[in-house]
Amino acid sequence: MNSDQPKTMRDVFIEAVCEKMREDERIFFVSADFGSPALDKVRENFKDRFINVGIAEQNLINVAVGLGLEGYIVYAYAIAPFITMRPYEQIRQSLAISSQVRPINVNLIGVGAGVSYDVSGPTHHCLEDISIMRLMPNFTVFSPSDWKLAEGFVDYSVKVSGPKYLRFDSKPLPSIYGDIGDLDFKKGFYELLNPPTGGEKVCLVSTGFMTHLALKAAKELKDIGVVDVFLLKPVDEKSLFESLKKYKYVIAIEEGFVNNGGLDALVSKIILDNQSDIRFKRMGFNDKYVFELGGRDYLHKLNNLDEESIIKTIKECL
Amino acid sequence: MNNIKNQSIIELLKEKSLWVRKETLNIHKVAPETRLASSLSDVEIFVALYYGGILKFNPKNPRWEERDRFIISKGHGAISLYPILADLGFFDKSELGEVCKESSFLGGIPDTMIPGFETINGALGHGLGVACGSAVALKNKNSAAKVFVLMGDGELFEGAVWEAIMFAGHHQLNNLILIIDNNKISMLDYCRNIIDLTPIEEKLHVFKWKVKTIDGHNIEEVYDSLNSLKEDKSDHPRVLIANTIKGKGVPKLENDVLCHIKSLKEDEIIKAIEELK
C-alpha cells in the first residue's frame, strides 16, 4: 500500500488528458457543465477543443459522437448517473450500435461511482451503471480503484478506439497500486493480495472504491486473496478463472446493486461456466435506493457493506 | 443562359422525382414493412440534394473526406433514398429488389451498413445533435464541407432536438443546414392535435437560426432555396422548412391521418404507380 496523498481520479486523469492535448490535436473535451480544478487548465489552454454544452447530457453524447465520427478522440464528462442514464438511448444508438460499423473513440467519464456523493442522496448515487453499461455490446467499462489506474488509462483510451465508460469515484482516495508502468490493462484485473500456496481459502473480488475496503478487511485476517477488477467489460474470463480457481470461496464486492448484472453476475457466470465447485457470495446494495443521510462509511454500515461486514462474511466462510 | 440551364436542371429534377416515387413504391411492393408515406414526403428534398449538385459526394468512396455530411434523422423516411443511391452508383440497382430480404443490407430502416448513410437513425431526435458535433469538427479542421440534416417535424417533440437547436444557434454553426420535412403528421395524429408546433419559423428564429419556408414539393423552390442556404455567408445555422404532404403522390395515403403505418397491397401499388404524375 502506497501512503502518498489522496487524489481524485478525475483530476489526475484530466491532468494527463490535458498533457496529451498539447501533443495530439485530435483530442476534444466536452463537458455537461461539470468541472474540476484540472479541467480549468483544459478550458484555459484549449478554448477551441473544449466545449461546455450546458446541462444537456443528451446533447453531450450527440456532440461527442459527431466529433468522434470526424476522427477526433473525445472525452465527454458529467456526473456518473447523469451521463449514463439520462442519455442512455443516445449512447445505445450512436455509440454502442453505430461503433460496430463505424470506428469511433468516445470516452464517457462519469464521476460519482456508487455512493461517493453520499449526502446528495439517491439521485446522485450511482448503483445501476455497472449493470447497464456492461449490457451494451462494443462498450468498454473501466472501473478503477485508485488514481494511478485512472492515470494509466489515459494512454489506453487514446490508443484503443471504441466507446468507453470510465466510472470514477468522486472522493480523493489514496493510491493502491505502485508503479503501473507494465500493467496489462487488457487483462482487466490484478491480484493485489495472494496468499501462500496451499492457504487459499477466501478471495475477495472487488471493483472501484470497494477494493480499498476489501484490502483493509483482508489485512485484518490471514491468507485472504484480493483481486481488483478494473475492466468490467470486456473481461478476460479465462485468466480471471485461472486466478480464482485455487480458492474455496469467492466473494464479489461492489458499490452497486447486486443480483442485477453487476460484478457479481460477471464473477458468478465465470464460476458457473467452468462448472467449478467454488462457493460464491456477493456483497453490494440490495434492491432499494438509499434515502438515509450520512457519510459513505455510515451508508456502507447500514447496507452491510462496511469493513466489519466484509470481515464477518469472510469469517462465515472460514 | 443561366435561366435556360436552370430550366433543364429543373426538368431533370422533376423527372427524377417521378422516377424515385415509382421506385419507392416498387420497393414497398417487395418490402411492405417500409414506411411508405414518410418516404414520399421527402422525395423532392433528396432529389434536389443529390441530382441538383447541392450535396458533394463520391459513390466510389462514400467516406470521402471532402464530402458534405448528410444525416437523415428521420431514418425510417429514407427508403426513397435507396433508388437514388443505387442510381448514383453507391451500390448495385439489383439490390433494390432485395430490400428487407435475408442477406440484403437494405433494411426497413436504413443503417450504416449501407454505403452512403452516415449514421443510424432508427430512434428519432438524435440526428441534429450528432450533426452539431460534426459541424464543430469540420470547422476545427477548416473543412469546406457542410453538414445537412433531414428531420421530420414530429421529431421536434423530442427534447434533445431543442438542446441541439440551442447549441447550433449559440455556436453559430453556419456550416449546418437543417431541412425539416414538415408533413404535419406523426404516427397517430396530426402534430397540431398532439402539441401544436406552430409557429416553427418564429421558434427557430429566436433560437438564432436563419429560417426559410417553402413548398417542399415545388422542386424549383427546393432547389433554389437549398442552393441559397448553402451559399449564404451569415453566421447562423440555417433551416429550411419544407411544407410537404405525407404520402405525396399516392391519393390513398395523402388524405389519411394514419398513413404513417399504412402498407399498400400489390394491386394498390400498381394503381398508385399508374396514377403518379
Report, at the CATH architecture level, how domain B2-275 is classified: 3-Layer(aba) Sandwich (3.40)
**pLDDT tens digits for A50-82?**
999 999 999 999 999 999 999 999 999 999 999
A220: number of Cβ within 10 Å: 12
Measure A116 CA to nearest chain B CA, in Å: 29
A64 in B contact zone (CB under 8 Å): yes
Domain ranges for chain A: 9-168, 189-317
A59 in B contact zone (CB under 8 Å): yes
Between A69, A90, A92, which is nearest B134 by CB? A69
User: In whole numbers, what is the pLDDT of chain A averaged over residues?
Assistant: 96
pLDDT of residue B6: 83
Mutate one of A28, A50, A70 to test the B interface: name it (highest B CB count within 10 A). A70
**pLDDT tens digits for A193-209?**
999 888 889 999 999 99
Class of domain A9-168: alpha beta
Q: In the predicted model, is pLDDT for residue B4 greater than 80?
A: no
A268 in B contact zone (CB under 8 Å): no
pLDDT of residue A288: 97
Sort out which chain B residues have CB atoms less than 8 A from A52's CB and list them: none
**pLDDT tens digits for A102-152?**
999 999 999 999 999 999 999 999 999 999 999 999 999 999 999 999 999
Per the CB < 8 Å rule, is A59 touching B132? Answer: yes
Domain ranges for chain B: 2-275
Between B120, B129, B140, which is nearest A62 by CB? B129
Sort out which chain A residues have CB atoms less than 8 A from B111's CB and list them: 101
Measure A272 CA to nearest chain B CA, in Å: 36
Closest Cα partner for B111 from B93, B123, B125, B128? B123
Cβ-Cβ contacts under 8 Å between A and B: the total is 97
Let me know: does B72 contact B117? Beta carbons within 8 Å. Answer: yes
Lowest model confidence (mean pLDDT) among A191-205, B97-111, B143-157: A191-205
| Chain length of chain B | 277
Q: Looking at residues B135-140, what average pLDDT do you find? A: 98
B1 — pLDDT class (breaks 50, 70, 90): very low
Write out the DSSP string of chain B. Answer: -HHHHHHHHHHHHHHHHHHHHHHHHHHHHH-TTS-HHHHHTTHHHHHHHHHTT-S---TTSTT-TTSPEEEESSGGGGTTHHHHHHHTTSS-GGGGGGTTSTT-S--SS--TTSTT--S--SSSS-HHHHHHHHHHHHHHTT----EEEEEEGGGGGSHHHHHHHHHHHHTT-TTEEEEEEE--B-SSSBHHHHS----HHHHHHHTT-EEEEEETT-HHHHHHHHHHHHH--SSS-EEEEEE--TTTT-HHHHT-TTGGG----HHHHHHHHHH--
Per the CB < 8 Å rule, is B112 touching A72? Answer: no
Q: Could you please state the CATH topology (level 3) that the domain comprising A189-317 is classified under.
A: Rossmann fold (3.40.50)
Q: Looking at residues A148-172, what average pLDDT do you find? A: 97
Q: Looking at residues A168-177, what average pLDDT do you find? A: 97
Per the CB < 8 Å rule, is A66 touching B132? Answer: yes
**Chain B residue with minimum CA distance to A65:** B130
User: In whole numbers, what is the pLDDT of chain B averaged over residues?
Assistant: 96
Between A53, A66, A101, which is nearest B134 by CB? A66
Per the CB < 8 Å rule, is A72 touching B132? Answer: no
β-pair type (A249-257, A202-206): parallel
Sort out which chain B residues have CB atoms less than 8 A from A58's CB and list them: 129, 159-160, 163
A5: number of Cβ within 10 Å: 9
Measure B272 CA to nearest chain A CA, in Å: 35
Measure B9 CA to nearest chain A CA, in Å: 33
Mutate one of A58, A90, A108 to test the B interface: name it (highest B CB count within 10 A). A58
Between A48, A90, A98, which is nearest B112 by CB? A98
**pLDDT tens digits for B217-275?**
999 999 999 999 999 999 999 999 999 999 999 999 998 999 999 999 999 999 999 99
Q: In the predicted model, is pLDDT for residue A1 greater than 60?
A: no
Closest Cα partner for A134 from A146, A125, A124, A143? A143
**Backbone CA torsion sign across A29, A32, A33, A39:** negative
pLDDT of residue B5: 65
Between A48, A66, A71, which is nearest B130 by CB? A66
